[in-house]
Amino acid sequence: MKRAIVIVVLVILAVGITLYVLNSAHFRKLLIERINQYLKVEISVPAVNPGARLLLLENCQRIELRANAWLPQPGTLGVRTRKEELQWSASAGRLSVRSGVTNNVWWPPAASTLTIIRTDYRGWFERFPETLLWGSVVVEKSCEVSVLPATPLHLLRDGVIDGFTIGEYLDPRSTATLQRYGDEAVWIRLYPEAYLPPDGFYKVTVENKDLPISKHFTLGTFAMDYPWYSLGFPQYIALDYGLVEKLEALIALMEADGYPASNFALIYGFRSPAFNLGTMEEDHEYTLKVPFSLHQYGKAVDLLIDHNHDLVMDDLNGDGRVDIHDAAVIMHYVNILDRRYREKGSRLVGGAGLYERHDFRGRVQSPYIHIDVRGFTNERGQLIRWPGFWPDGTRIRFGQI
């Protein structure tokens, strides 16, 4: 009888232990899943466009990185962190440390290269208050960011970077240059610092051209790969990210008033000096380019709104025809923005122009608008606008647009 009782007790204990182990394993699995659901792992990079899918880096020398891992409300999960590990990796360039640190340093490759920076996180978590759950649970999570540093200006040799011809920038402080271009150099005489060569150039490739650098724009938006003209890939571009910020602000402003402005079609983004000055000479009777065009510095765009993709400005004012007055609808909102920027003393204040046509011969023609972030007004503090007259010869009163 006693032996039977012992056997029954042992069976009950065995079943209880088995159930406890199975229940514990199930509980541990659920706990891991729940921690994974709430655990945040991020890499902080000092980019000009934080939060974008492709982060643009102006600093070509040394990049400070930081990895953050946290549970938004660990108390509600009833856990606490006992131990953490980090493993770093980068597809190009050099990292200071590969493991065990939250703060790290990355030295970009010498030339602009799309790089994936990654951190693999492992954390040991235990229940709090303590329970009979055996040991800690281990949670693993990864985070990676795509970054693109700029190729520094000093690697522009004889007007060429990596086989791509940029050309030579005109010297805004050269007396000979100022004398040669006369009246076209009026702003260069007053603000030569705005016309110094860019600090660096971003490499645009087939692989990275469609990666978003902001809500509405990809890196390739500002390269020359349009229905009007293409330079193929890879190519190098200068890009002042303030221009992207201004375009995003313009879209938000127009959409708030009911204009579907998200589909900006660029005629020109970046134009290299070789292309800009070269086509000025080849097509001087038809060109709309100027020697110190801000397109060469990544500070200007020519654009239209084209939702039906016919390469022609949409009828924005609803008068049944497409002409320069549709471009003036966009100008109205550029004026609003630039007045705000002027009041704040922002470097995003810029010039703007209205055009009846672009300068690609043999292509469908369209009105468009030029927008830039030159960072200054005229000597009287007025916004710089052009031309002076509508096609019918009447004066354009930009203050009333």
- Per-residue pLDDT for 29 more than 60? yes
Q: Check whether 395 has a pLDDT greater than 90.
A: yes
* Interval 202-211: pLDDT, tens: 999 999 999 9
The per-residue pLDDT for 80 is 77
At residue 25 the predicted structure's pLDDT band, cuts being 50, 70 and 90, is low
- Report the pLDDT value the prediction gives residue 11, as an integer from 0 to 100: 47
Q: For residue range 245-265, what is the model confidence (pLDDT) as tens digits?
A: 999 999 999 999 999 887 899
78: left (phi over 0), alpha (psi -120 to 50) or beta: left
The Cα 246–Cα 50 span in angstroms is: 16
Q: What is the 3-state secondary structure (H, E, C) of the chain?
A: CHHHHHHHHHHHHHHHHHHHHHHHHHHHHHHHHHHHHHCEEEEECCCCCCCCCEEEECCCCCEEEEEEEECCCHHHHCEEEEEEEEEEEECCCEECCCECCCEEEEECCCCCCCEEEEEEEEEEEEECCCCCCCCCEEEEEEEEEEEEECEEHHHCECCEECCEECCCCCCCCCHHHHHHHHHHHHHHHHCHHHHCCCCEEEEECCCCCCCECCCCCEHHHHCCECCCCECCCCEEECCCHHHHHHHHHHHHHHHHCCCCCCCEEEEECCCCHHHHHHHHHHCCCCCCCCCCCHHHHCCEEEEEECCCCCCCCCCCCCCCCCCHHHHHHHHHHHHHHHHHHHHHCCCCCCCEEEECCCCCCCCCCCCEEEEECCCCCCCCCCCCEECCECCCCCECCHHHC
Report pTM.
Answer: 0.88
How does pLDDT run across 56-102, given as a tens digit for each residue? 998 778 999 999 988 776 566 677 778 889 999 999 999 999 998 89
Tokens 């390469």 correspond to: 311
- Residue 31: CB atoms within 10 Å: 19
> Is residue 329 pLDDT above 80, yes or no?
yes
Maximum average pLDDT range among 188-197, 268-277, 318-327: 318-327
- Phi and psi of 284, rounded to 5°? -65, -25
Q: How far apart are CA 238 and CA 198, in angstroms?
A: 7
**pLDDT for the residue numbered 165:** 95
Q: Which domains are present in the chain?
A: 2-149 (2.60.40.10), 153-400 (no CATH)
